[in-house]
Amino acid sequence: MSEDRRTRPTYDVVVPASVANLGGGFDTLAVAVQLYLRVRIVDVRDDGGATLSVVRSTPAVRGRNAVERAFEAIARRTGRKAPTVSVEVESDIPMAAGLGSSAAAVVAGLRVFEHVADGPGVPVGVLLAVAASLEGHADNAAAALHGGLTSVVEREGEEPVALRWSWPEELRLIVVTPAAGLATAKARAALPEAVPRTDAVFNMQRVLSLVHALQTRDYGRLREAVQDRLHQPARSALVPQLAAVLALEDPEILGSFLSGAGPTVALLARRDFARLEQLVRSIYERAGCPATVRTLGVHRSPEGAPEPVGAACPEPSRGARGGAV
As a whole number of angstroms, the distance between CA 153 and CA 146 comes to 15
Strands (E) located in the chain: 11-20, 29-45, 51-58, 84-91, 149-153, 161-165, 172-178, 255-258, 265-269, 291-296, 321-324
- Quote the CA–CA distance of 142 and 91 in Å, as a whole number: 19
Say whether 20 sits in a helix, a strand or coil: strand
- 242 and 108 in one domain? no
Domain match, 144 and 15 both: yes
Q: Are residues 132 and 243 in the same domain?
A: no
31 falls within a domain: yes
Listing DSSP states for 185-217 in one string gives HHHHHTS-S---HHHHHHHHHHHHHHHHHHHHT
Q: Within this chain, do residues 125 and 251 fall inside the same structural domain, yes or no?
A: no
146 and 97 in a common domain: yes
Q: Are residues 48 and 136 in the same domain?
A: yes
Position 239 scores a pLDDT of: 85
Return d(Cα 257, Cα 4) in angstroms, integer: 51
**CA distance linking residue 113 with residue 128, whole number of Å:** 14
CB atoms within 10 A of CB 111: 26
Instruction: State the pLDDT at residue 190.
Output: 72
Rounded-to-integer distance, Cα 100 and Cα 174, Å: 16
Q: What are the backbone angles phi and psi of residue 87, rounded to the nearest 5°? A: -135, 160
| CB 166, CB 172: distance < 8 Å | no
- In this structure, are 33 and 144 located in the same domain? yes
How far is it, in rounded angstroms, from Cα 25 to Cα 180?
25
Task: Kindly state whether residue 301 falls inside one of the protein's structural domains.
Answer: no
Where in the sequence is the domain holding 19, given as residue range(s)?
A: 11-166
CB half-sphere exposure, 63, CA atoms < 13 A: 2
Q: What is the pTM of this model?
A: 0.88
Last residue of a domain, one of 116, 148, 166: 166
* pLDDT the model gives residue 235: 83
Q: What does pLDDT average to in each consecutive run of 10 residues of the chain (325 residues)?
A: 48 96 95 97 93 93 89 95 96 94 96 92 93 92 97 91 96 94 71 89 97 97 96 85 93 96 94 97 93 96 45 37 40
Residue 5 lies in a domain: no
51-58 and 84-91: which strand pairing?
parallel
309 within a domain of the structure (yes/no): no
Q: How many domains does the chain have?
A: 2
Three-class SS state of 35: strand
What's the rounded Cα separation, in Å, for the pair 309 and 313? 7
pLDDT, residue 303, reads: 47
Does residue 155 sit in the same domain as residue 35?
Answer: yes
Rounded CA separation 217/241 (Å)? 29
Q: CATH number, domain at 216? A: 3.30.70.890
- Nearest 5°: phi and psi at 160? -65, 160
**One domain, residues 25 and 86:** yes
DSSP string, 96-138: TSSS-HHHHHHHHHHHHHHHHSSSSPPPHHHHHHHHHHHHSSS
Same domain, 30 and 137: yes
